[in-house]
């Protein structure tokens, strides 16, 4: 495991921000957050489920409350992990610029590190107010099987590229497996398997 040098204020709290639709949250998300927390000496990682992910508006997305609760269940046992309702409680489409402004308002002068997989990172210049994003947070792009990890042209020093253990898991695949009656044990945390079953998520998709 590498140790990462990143620009930061001395003595400031270091907070990772893991945004995602988490429909459902899976071990790929959790391993990415855990690995970045270790490599970047983060004090905590806040998972932020999206409210209305506008770039997924053509797809069916499960109710925000279900995605929030699955994220809480998945992260509950790790004292470094917490979950924010910021995006699901804000009305309208979810933009990371708003997420980061909300977190900055709450966490004062902490250093923020927004974690994205290689696929999300490659799209980042299409995000709302992309130019301003990089003044609010450092960005960390992580490897993801099937995707090329590269700096998509962010301002100098705005992004770090990090290798994390490869888990070829996607939420899409998990949903399809449930719909077809196939197991998702060990792809998602046990409590999330139980929650999907209890709420009958993804059955008719």
Ligand X SMILES: O=C(O)c1ccc[n+]([C@@H]2O[C@H](COP(=O)([O-])O)[C@@H](O)[C@H]2O)c1
**Of residues 102, 119, 151, 176, which one binds ligand ATP by CB under 6 A?**
119
**With contact defined as beta carbons under 8 Å apart, do 61 and 23 qualify?**
yes
Residue 136 site contact among ligand ATP, ligand X, none (CB < 5 to 8 Å, cut-off depends on kind) = none
Answer yes or no whether residue 113 interacts with ligand X by CB under 6 A. no
Q: Is 18 left (phi over 0), alpha (psi -120 to 50) or beta?
A: beta
Q: Using H for helix, E for strand and C for coil, what is the string for 113-145?
A: EEEEEHHHHHCHHHCCCHHHHHHHCEEEEECCC
Helices (H) and strands (E) in the chain, counts: 8, 6
Strand partners for 185:
188
User: Which pairs with CB-CB distance under 8 Å and at least 24 residues apart come from 77-82?
Assistant: 78/34, 80/37, 80/42, 80/43, 80/44, 80/45, 81/33, 81/44, 81/45, 81/46, 81/47, 82/44, 82/45, 82/46, 82/47
Q: Which of 28, 36, 70, 134 binds ligand ATP (CB under 6 A)?
A: 28
Task: Report, in Å, the least distance between residue 5 CB and ligand X.
Answer: 25
Give the CB-nearest residue to ligand X.
19
**Which of ligand ATP, ligand X, none sits in contact with 144, Cβ below 5 to 8 A by type?**
ligand ATP
Partner that binds at residue 55, options ligand ATP, ligand X, none, CB closer than 5 to 8 Å by kind: ligand X
Site for ligand X in 20-49 (CB under 6 A): 20-21, 48
Q: How far is the CB of 117 from ligand X (least distance, A)?
A: 8
Cα separations in angstroms, 26 against 10, 20, 23, 75: 33, 11, 9, 11
Q: Which stretch binds ligand X (CB under 6 A): 6-14, 30-38, 69-77, 91-99?
A: 91-99
Residue 94 contact among ligand X, ligand ATP, none, beta carbon within 5 to 8 Å by kind: ligand X
Q: Which is nearer to ligand X, 20 or 189 (CB)?
A: 20
Between 43 and 172, CB nearer to ligand ATP: 172
**Is 138 a binder of ligand ATP (CB under 6 A)?**
no
159 three-class SS: strand
Is 120 among the residues that bind ligand X (CB under 6 A)? yes
Residues that bind ligand X (CB under 6 A): 19-21, 48, 50, 53, 55-56, 94-97, 120, 127-128
């Amino acid at each position: 495991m590498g140790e990462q040098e990143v620009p930061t204020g001395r003595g400031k709290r270091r907070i990772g921000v893991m945004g995602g639709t988490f429909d459902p949250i899976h071990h790929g998300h959790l391993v990415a957050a855990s690995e970045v927390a270790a490599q970047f000496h983060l004090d905590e990682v806040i998972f932020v489920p999206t409210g209305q992910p506008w770039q997924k508006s053509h797809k069916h997305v499960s109710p925000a409350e279900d995605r929030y609760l699955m994220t809480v269940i998945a992260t509950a046992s790790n004292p470094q992990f917490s979950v924010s309702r910021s995006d699901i409680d804000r009305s309208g489409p979810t933009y990371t610029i708003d997420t980061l402004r909300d977190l900055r308002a709450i966490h004062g002068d902490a250093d923020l590190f927004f974690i994205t997989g290689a696929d999300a990172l490659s799209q980042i210049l299409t995000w709302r107010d992309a130019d301003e994003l990089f003044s609010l947070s450092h960005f960390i792009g992580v490897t993801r099987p099937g995707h090329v990890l590269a700096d998509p042209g962010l301002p100098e020093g705005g992004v770090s590229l990090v290798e994390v253990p490869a888990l070829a898991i996607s939420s899409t695949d998990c949903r399809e497996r449930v719909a077809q009656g196939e197991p998702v044990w060990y792809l998602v945390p046990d409590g999330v398997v139980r929650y999907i079953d209890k709420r009958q998520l993804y059955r008719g998709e």
